């Protein structure tokens, strides 16, 4: 739930009264429409930053006890860390690590890797001084249904306001989680804490207004491959489910429904989206106003030129590929695409390799004279994404020629060469990115993603969630790529 701490001046104020009134929603809606119109004018005027592409990231992680169980001590941990780039998350057992954006070059990506690695080691060392462990994994195997209760929510009025508004917009109906799979799971919750069960590694790509739509569409198309190579969440509450169970878990955890009669055909709050971008990313923000109920109608006194209401509202909509508006210190706006489909873990090296692959693929697709989205319908891209989340590298997907292929073969034969071409086009091909793509190549060829390793470990050693978590954490500590991990 990263929007709650990353909106900076927008969300820096704490919420003391989380019981909103009708006029609060009306006032917020008015400001939101004004700022959306202003954003449209910015697109027309070409006001956005046109700097060279930049890369950024966020990593969500788990604090664990010595037995691998979730440790509800993030307040103590963060007080000890005292770093602005390490912040709280929804649950008391989660934290988020950020790294400063870097130029999208070979050396820039190597610097981004080193920055993330350094912060991770500092966090891990601090956790150990507190008698804890730090684990980067999509869903913690030791997580139990009873861990996801309001008592384990981080101490913030903002989170409690969000929880209240989700339930209000559901008109008091409980959240029913139902995930099919080898061991189907059904459970019921009356709060948003199910969302805390899913942690991710999110890549950011700063783009120009001229190419933003093409990069957004390329990110949509790439999502099937990236969710599969990064799959690391095969278990939830001891049930064997999808290769990337985060996907249905997150989507259902914040499901609102379509009860707001004032909106045109409301959309799911979290999901794959409604279609490709057209003439500009302004369409996505207009869709935010027209098809998503306001969730947190705060009284914002921030500079209207920084679009505080628009950015807050956008932060409560969780598309798997999400457009973002940011500002530099001088107040110049820029556009970013947040690619949210990849799970946290297994190693820093693995995650950065996934990010390099993503950047290369979308750069190549976004620059082609014939846009690939003209050959692949959005419905097909969505079908491929959910097939990949469920079956990982073994998913069968539809290619641009309409033929069904094994996703593993498509990545090895088509997408990895395409990623190299895209990195070369960006001027980002070099020793670091070459090594990163080689790691993806070996992982896909051998079939051992984080999810596959977890399944194989359980098949060989039995369904002991604590033993699985501790074995995983021990291998993660060395930063060895997962395709080299022994079972």
Residues in the chain, overall count? 487
CA angle 110, 115, 117 (to 5 degrees): 95
Average of per-residue pLDDT across 207-226? 96
Reference 143, options 244, 54, 69; nearest CA is 69
Give the number of other CB atoms < 10 A from CB of residue 49: 17
pTM passes above 0.85: yes
pLDDT in tens, 154-178: 988 888 888 888 888 888 889 999 9
Instruction: With beta carbons less than 8 A apart as the criterion, state whether 194 and 204 touch.
Output: no
* pLDDT at residue number 190: 87
Reference 229, options 487, 477, 408, 14; nearest CA is 408
pLDDT interval class at 7 (50, 70, 90):
very low
Largest CA-CA distance found in the chain, in angstroms, rounded: 61
* pLDDT at residue number 57: 98
Rounded distance, CA 273 to CA 284, Å? 9
* pLDDT at residue number 287: 96
**Model confidence at 58: pLDDT above 50:** yes
Q: How far is CA 170 from CA 139, 173, 175, in A?
A: 26, 5, 8
Least trusted range by pLDDT, from 213-227, 295-309, 317-331, 449-463: 295-309
Q: What are the tokens at 409?
A: 């073969």
* pLDDT at residue number 16: 52
* pLDDT at residue number 48: 95
- The arrangement of secondary structure in 3-477, i.e. its CATH architecture, is 2-Layer Sandwich (3.30)
**Model confidence at 403: pLDDT above 50:** yes
* pLDDT at residue number 107: 98
pLDDT in tens, 28-52: 999 999 999 999 999 999 899 999 8
Give the number of other CB atoms < 10 A from CB of residue 420: 19
Average of per-residue pLDDT across 349-365? 98
Cis peptide before 142 (omega within 30 of 0): no
Rounded distance, CA 1 to CA 478, Å? 29
């Amino acid at each position: 739930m990263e929007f709650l701490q990353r909106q900076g001046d927008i969300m820096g104020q704490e919420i003391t009264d989380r019981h909103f009134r009708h006029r609060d929603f009306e006032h917020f809606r008015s400001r939101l429409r004004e700022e959306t119109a202003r954003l449209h004018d910015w697109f027309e005027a070409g006001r956005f930053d046109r700097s060279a592409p930049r890369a950024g990231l966020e990593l969500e992680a788990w604090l664990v006890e010595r037995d691998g169980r979730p440790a509800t001590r993030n307040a103590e941990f963060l007080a000890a860390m005292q770093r602005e780039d390490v912040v709280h998350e929804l649950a008391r057992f989660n934290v988020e690590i950020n790294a400063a954006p870097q130029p999208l070059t070979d050396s820039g990506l190597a610097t981004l890797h080193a920055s993330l690695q350094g912060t991770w080691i500092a966090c891990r060392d601090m956790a150990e001084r507190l008698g804890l462990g730090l684990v980067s994994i999509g869903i913690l195997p030791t997580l139990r249904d009873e861990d996801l209760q309001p008592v384990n929510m981080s101490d913030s009025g903002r989170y409690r306001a969000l929880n209240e508004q989700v339930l209000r917009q559901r008109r008091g109906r409980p959240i029913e989680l139902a995930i099919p799979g080898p061991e189907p799971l059904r459970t019921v919750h009356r709060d948003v804490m199910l969302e805390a069960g899913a942690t991710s590694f999110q890549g950011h790509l700063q783009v120009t207004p001229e190419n933003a739509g093409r990069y957004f569409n390329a990110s949509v198309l790439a999502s099937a491959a990236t969710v599969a190579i990064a799959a690391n969440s095969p278990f939830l509450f001891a049930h064997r489910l999808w290769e990337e169970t985060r996907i249905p878990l997150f989507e259902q955890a914040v499901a609102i429904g379509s009860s707001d009669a004032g909106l045109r055909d409301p959309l799911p709050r979290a999901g794959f989206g409604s279609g490709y971008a057209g003439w500009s990313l302004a369409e996505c923000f207009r869709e935010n106003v027209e098809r998503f109920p306001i969730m947190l109608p705060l009284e914002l006194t921030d500079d209207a030129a920084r679009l505080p209401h628009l950015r807050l509202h956008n932060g409560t909509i969780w598309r798997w590929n999400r457009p973002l508006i940011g500002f530099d210190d001088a107040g110049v706006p820029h556009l970013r695409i947040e690619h949210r489909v990849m799970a946290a873990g297994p190693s820093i090296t693995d995650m950065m390799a996934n990010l390099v692959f993503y950047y290369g693929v979308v750069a190549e697709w976004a620059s082609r004279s014939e846009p690939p989205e003209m050959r692949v319908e959005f419905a097909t891209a969505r079908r491929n994404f959910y097939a990949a989340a469920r079956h990982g590298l073994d998913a069968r997907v539809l290619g641009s020629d309409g033929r069904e292929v094994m996703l593993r073969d498509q990545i090895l034969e088509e997408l990895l060469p395409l990623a190299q071409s895209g990195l070369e086009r960006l001027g980002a091909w070099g020793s670091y990115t070459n090594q990163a793509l080689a790691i993806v190549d070996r992982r896909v060829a051998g079939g051992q993603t984080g999810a596959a390793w977890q399944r194989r470990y359980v098949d060989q050693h039995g369904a002991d969630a604590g033993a699985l978590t501790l074995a995983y954490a021990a291998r993660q500590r060395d930063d060895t790529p997962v395709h080299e991990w022994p079972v």
